[in-house]
Amino acid sequence: MNELTQRLTVEQPVVMGGSKPTVEELRERTGDMGYVLIKFTETRGGTELGFPLDRAATDLSAADFDAATGRVHVEGTLILNDDPVRCIANLDLATLKGAGRLAPADASEVADED
């Protein structure tokens, strides 16, 4: 496993990714778009990862997007530095910050993006 990938398997601070993240954008990404951006802030320059949501593992039930309160739990798989991984993150809607980590995944779990 790549060194960066290994470091990100330990839970650490994350923020919603993107150039100007907003609660409305997160609503769209977790809704129809089904693709989120999560940035791990404790790496040199930050590491932003984008991945398709695993809708069965994602939980939006504690989120009130209209009031920008509560939290979301997002999960999805991707390839990082040739390593198949699952990104697992919890974000607070008021701050768009939270905690996340990577977990090793089976290559068959990762969607083919070719």
CATH code at 3-109: 2.40.250.10
Nearest to 102 by CA among 77, 70, 68: 77
Distance from C-alpha of 74 to C-alpha of 90, rounded to nearest angstrom: 6
Alpha-carbon radius of gyration of the chain: 13
pLDDT tens across 10-36, in order? Answer: 999 999 999 999 999 999 999 999 999
Domain locations in the chain?
3-109
**Residues in the chain with pLDDT < 70?**
111-114
pTM over 0.75: yes
